[in-house]
Chains A and B, each alone.
Chain A
């Protein structure tokens, strides 16, 4: 299988790795780096595998690892300063149940709060509508993000 060496800044560290040209970014993050990025639909519909690429949320199952070369990639583990605040708000609002979709929702929340520190409920719903959760009915996410914004 054809491979190419890529260099990415992953969660604040520069990493160089030879990857198969057909490998998705999601697969590289999971299998190559052992990160929490989960795959659910694998075809861009559910948002579970979302990560930040150059600060923007991206479905990593739809991006090839080679396309991430030279760019900054942030998974849940790399949210750094934002992570404790989001974890607290998610936990206090019982936002998640099975938790499988959680990494994607936390990435979406972080991206939203970076661009809009005081989102309305409607703006939050719009920002997370690309993410599927089958357990929660979404209202816990909405209140959690409102809380996280209020405690910034």
Chain B
């Protein structure tokens, strides 16, 4: 059952138009809500006039902060850290706006169209204030984001392994470079949405909230604090979700505001974000500035690395220092870096909060390390592939302790892998050995081809725990309830496979329930490629316990010792008399019989139902190598991907087709991020390209099919031996693309910014031409002089 590419059980409804997305939900007597957002990034609200909006027919409520002073509290951030000076938003701006798109007022009306009309009728007078546009400006102290923090620093931290100063003093080659990565928007196809209903006389949870969150339980916990209801008086349902990518794991102001409307107005309320709002108000990711120094010996072996990270936090903290901390520990990646020192400053700016977006700090780290290796290879005149071979960790070095500490102070310990094999195999897949000939042939027709390669690891399966409840029905069907939700990762299929494998039944007999706090009380959520590792192993534990209980109960039913029985194929069979068998459903029926006598020993509880938690603080590290061949148009800066290849190792595969589609999709997002995607701001901190016609996502004509293969090095850190795959694809693309572009243009390491948009490629290309012309010119001059 494990390792089979069975079709997805989700597809039956999703391909018939029966997807249960929040925006499709229609409740009786439901009204609509819309949010008025600040057009300014930094401003004080002098006054809000809502009277005209209130008068419009169909308008039910128009609220600003002053209407809700009795209940509104800052939204808590959920990852405390000693170095952190957290500033968090109120659900509606109290007096000062800290980023464009912050909610200033909320309207409820009979229809969405009336809501929009009401928003236009609200007048807000703002006193516009100076803006902090980026982390460096924040540090310069030219303006303040939060009045009480004159240095704009949200957090600073660092760590060191070995002795970097001493090691750098002893290096043959030292490279120092600065790298920057742009700010991006995740742009799931489904916008955020919240529907809330309050039933004051309900005998179960009175407040029900449907929302496309990656973490229904986290949402319930924060909502409980925000509206003052106990957690178990709230039911959060995350039905089908149209893409998450990390940003849908956060708690947003609308998660408080829509339930409050429902509670106070006595009507079900629906809010669906617009695409423009998804650019301005859904949190962003990725913006970082790096200054890195790499020291190597003459053979290209890394001796030491120093790294300084400036992290653009945006206006508020929502998840501690998680993303920048991941970057700081991820820079060494798959390479042996015996001495490493890193320091990070997180700086408040007048932009939307920066939060984990697919890859969560790892793509930037990979870009830095791979670029530094390319630069070192050029300086030492070593082949860029060879320098990687010399520094990759070897299979016999695992488990490998990097000496670094994770954000929770646990050691950063790589579990297993075969990094060199991935590199060698990807060279075969991309056709590296014949590439020089291919390049020459292309050059003969005026085409510039280039090749780029990168190696990466992906920390997956973060703790602390995940839950699974397996219940066997007397009819023989199995219901698996898990706390996690799904945003397209095929969890209903893959977790059914794990459950079916554990119970030795067909996956079609397993019905998976997920994304609803009422089906299971405790769960953490979906992020950091943790579902296969955390939820998968919880399911495996629960099925093992079901088998154990089934044998014990069967022993009582058949009046034999448990040792006389075996569990196989979803049945318990007596070894000596194989015709005596009990199917799981029969045992479940006996364990839940309404007869007055419970015919089992006192240590057996009723029902064939088991809840288990898988707890772990040891992540599993997936890894891989990625290669691409591109064609660069030196006249326009346009980059066309000719082919690309991936060799990936995520341990044991539950469903290879699901893994491959996750990797393909991750790489597609990596390509978007590497080639096109960047939020651009005007000098007042307003986004210039908050639309899909100016913020470009990759399309079918831009991404050729991915050539991919897998090697399998099971994780020794979890019973299933699995490693996560959700984020991996986004990590290696940008550095491979940068190398490939430079290779095509015949230049050294000059690309230091992500994304590599056509204008930027053109700049690099022209600078290279200029340099070539100049050196040719000075060569001619020198020849003349002699």
Contacts and interface: CB of A to CB of B under 8 A. Distances in A.
Interface of A: 1, 20, 22, 30, 34-36, 38-43, 45-46, 48, 75-77, 83, 86-87, 90-92, 94, 96-103, 106, 124-126, 128-143
A43 B693 contact: yes
30 contacts: A20-B113, A34-B26, A36-B19, A38-B21, A38-B190, A40-B190, A40-B242, A42-B274, A45-B692, A45-B693, A91-B12, A91-B15, A96-B11, A96-B15, A98-B190, A98-B488, A99-B242, A100-B243, A102-B14, A132-B697, A132-B699, A134-B187, A134-B245, A134-B665, A134-B697, A136-B665, A136-B668, A137-B667, A137-B703, A139-B705
A134 B278 CA distance: 14
Contacts of B691: 41, 43, 45
A39 B17 CA distance: 13
A135 B7 contact: no
Given A77-B17, A92-B7, A129 B488 contact: no
A143 B660 CA distance: 14
Interface core residue of A83, A91, A98, A138 (most chain B CB under 10 Å): A98
Interface in B1-35: 5, 7-8, 10-12, 14-19, 21, 23-24, 26
A94 B26 CA distance: 29
B243 A139 contact: no
Q: Secondary structure at chain B's binding surface: helix, strand, loop or mixed? A: loop
Interface in B312-352: none
A140 B488 CA distance: 14
B701 interface: yes
A100 B21 contact: yes
A98 B11 contact: no
Nearest to A130: B699
B189 interface: yes
B692 A98 contact: no
Give the top 7 A-B pairs by smallest Cβ distance, nearest first.
A36-B17, A98-B488, A100-B242, A99-B14, A137-B668, A97-B488, A45-B692
Contacts of A39: 23
B17 A75 contact: yes
A94 B5 CA distance: 9
B14 A41 contact: no
A69 to B, nearest CB: 20
Nearest to A128: B700
Contacts of B10: 99
A105 B658 CA distance: 20
Given A90-B11, A134-B189, A41 B487 contact: no
Interface size class of B (residues with CB under 8 A): 35 or more
A92 B187 CA distance: 27
Given A87-B11, A94-B661, A96-B15, A135 B191 contact: no
B149 to A, nearest CB: 35
Interface in B157-181: none
Interface of B: 5, 7-8, 10-12, 14-19, 21, 23-24, 26, 113, 186-191, 240-243, 245, 274-275, 487-490, 657-658, 660-662, 664-665, 667-669, 691-693, 697, 699-701, 703, 705-706
Contact of A40 (B7, B24, B275): B275
A34 B25 CA distance: 10
Contacts of A139: 664, 703, 705-706
A97 B189 contact: no
A93 to B, nearest CB: 9
A87 B7 CA distance: 12
Given A38-B23, A132-B699, A46 B692 contact: yes
Contacts of A124: 700
Contacts of A103: 17
Contacts of A136: 661, 664-665, 668
B243 A134 contact: yes
A42 B697 contact: no
B585 to A, nearest CB: 29
A102 B16 CA distance: 9
Interface core residue of B14, B191, B701 (most chain A CB under 10 Å): B14
A102 B13 CA distance: 11
Nearest to B655: A94
A42 B5 CA distance: 35
B668 A40 contact: no
A106 B11 CA distance: 13
A87 B661 CA distance: 17
A92 B700 CA distance: 19
Contacts of B489: 97
Nearest to B14: A99
A101 to B, nearest CB: 5
Contacts of B657: 94
B191 A40 contact: yes
Contacts of A99: 10-11, 14-15, 19, 240, 242, 488
A130 B667 CA distance: 20
A148 B243 CA distance: 26
B701 A126 contact: yes
A139 B245 CA distance: 19
B15 A41 contact: no
Nearest to A104: B189
A86 B17 CA distance: 13
Contact of A100 (B19, B186, B662, B705): B19
Nearest to A48: B189
B677 to A, nearest CB: 11
B15 A87 contact: yes
B275 A41 contact: yes
Nearest to B695: A45
A42 B243 CA distance: 17
Nearest to A79: B17
B488 A135 contact: yes
A120 to B, nearest CB: 13
Contacts of A91: 7-8, 11-12, 15
B188 A134 contact: yes
Contacts of B660: 94
B658 A94 contact: yes
Contacts of A46: 189, 692
A109 to B, nearest CB: 11
B18 A36 contact: yes
A128 to B, nearest CB: 5
Contacts of B697: 132, 134
Contacts of A141: 700
Nearest to A75: B17
A132 B693 CA distance: 12
A47 B12 CA distance: 22
A137 to B, nearest CB: 3
